[in-house]
Structure 1
Amino acid sequence: MSLQMTMLSKLRCITIDVTGTLIAYKGELGDYYCMAAKSVGLPCPDYKRMHEGFKSAYTDMAKQYPCFGYAAKMPNIKWWKQCVKDSFVRGGYDYDEETFEKVFRRIYSVFGSSAPYTIFPDSQPFLRWARQKGLLVGLVSNAEYRYQDVILPALGLNQGSEWDFGVFSGLEGVEKPNPRIYEIALAKAGNIAPHEALHIGDSMRKDYLPARAVGMHALLLDRFKTPDAENWRKSGAPVLPDLVAAQAWLSAEDVPNQETVREMDGLN
Structure 2
Amino acid sequence: MTSSSLRLQCITVDVTGTLIAYKGQLGDYYCMAAKAIGLPCPDYERMHEGFKAAYKNTTKRFPCFGSRNKIHDKEWWRICVKDSFIEAGYLYDDVTSEKVFERIYAAFGSTAPYAVFPDVHPFLRWARSKGIIVGIVSNSESRYRDVILPTLGIRQGFEWDFGVFSGLDGIEKPDPRMYKLALLRAGNLPAASALHIGDSLQKDYLPAQGIGMQALLLDRFNTLEAKSWKEKGIPVFQDLVATQEWIVQNEKLENNDDSRESVSK
TM-score normalized with structure 2 length: 0.92
Find the residue that maps to 1:183 and give its secondary structure: helix
Q: 1:29 aligns with which of 23, 26, 29?
A: 26
**What is the rounded CA distance, in whole Å, between the counterparts of 1:125 and 1:9 in structure 2?**
25
* Residue in structure 2 matched with residue 158 of structure 1 by the alignment: 155
* Residue in structure 1 matched with residue 260 of structure 2 by the alignment: none
* Residue in structure 2 matched with residue 188 of structure 1 by the alignment: 185
Superposed, 1:37-186 pairs within 5 Å as 37-186=34-183
Instruction: State the percentage of identical aligned residues.
Output: 63
| Alpha-carbon contact 2:27-2:51 (below 8 Å) kept | no
**What is the rounded CA distance, in whole Å, between the counterparts of 1:76 and 1:141 in structure 2?**
15
| Alpha-carbon contact 1:113-1:154 (below 8 Å) kept | yes
- Structure 2: state its 5+ residue gaps: 255-265
**What is the rounded CA distance, in whole Å, between the counterparts of 1:159 and 1:89 in structure 2?**
38
| Alpha-carbon contact 1:114-1:152 (below 8 Å) kept | no
**What is the rounded CA distance, in whole Å, between the counterparts of 1:30 and 1:82 in structure 2?**
15
Q: In the TM superposition, what whole-angstrom CA distance separates every residue of 1:157-189 from its partner, at most 9, and x where no partner exists?
A: 000000000100000000001111000000000
Q: In the TM superposition, what whole-angstrom CA distance separates every residue of 1:49-101 from its partner, at most 9, and x where no partner exists?
A: 11111111111111111000111100111111111110000101001111111
Find the residue that maps to 2:253 and give its secondary structure: coil
Q: In the TM superposition, what whole-angstrom CA distance separates every residue of 1:11-61 from its partner, at most 9, and x where no partner exists?
A: 100000000000000112232112211221011111111111111111111
| Alpha-carbon contact 2:10-2:133 (below 8 Å) kept | yes
Q: In the TM superposition, what whole-angstrom CA distance separates every residue of 1:117-157 from its partner, at most 9, and x where no partner exists?
A: 00000001000000000000000000000000110111110
**What is the rounded CA distance, in whole Å, between the counterparts of 1:124 and 1:10 in structure 2?**
23
TM-score normalized with structure 1 length: 0.91
- In the alignment, residue 119 of structure 1 is paired with which amino acid? V
**What is the rounded CA distance, in whole Å, between the counterparts of 2:85 and 2:44 in structure 1?**
11
Superposed, 1:229-248 pairs within 5 Å as 229-248=226-245
- Structure 1: state its 5+ residue gaps: 256-268
| Alpha-carbon contact 2:196-2:214 (below 8 Å) kept | yes
- In the alignment, residue 39 of structure 2 is paired with which amino acid? L
| Cα distance, 1:7–1:122 mapped onto 2, change above 3 Å | farther
Find the residue that maps to 1:139 and give its secondary structure: strand
Runs of 4+ in 1 over 6 A off after TM superposition: 4-9
**What is the rounded CA distance, in whole Å, between the counterparts of 1:228 and 1:121 in structure 2?**
23
| Alpha-carbon contact 2:15-2:137 (below 8 Å) kept | yes
CA RMSD between the two structures: 1.6
Q: How far did 1:233 drift?
A: 1.1
**What is the rounded CA distance, in whole Å, between the counterparts of 1:207 and 1:58 in structure 2?**
20
* Residue in structure 1 matched with residue 258 of structure 2 by the alignment: none
Q: How far did 1:7 drift?
A: 8.3
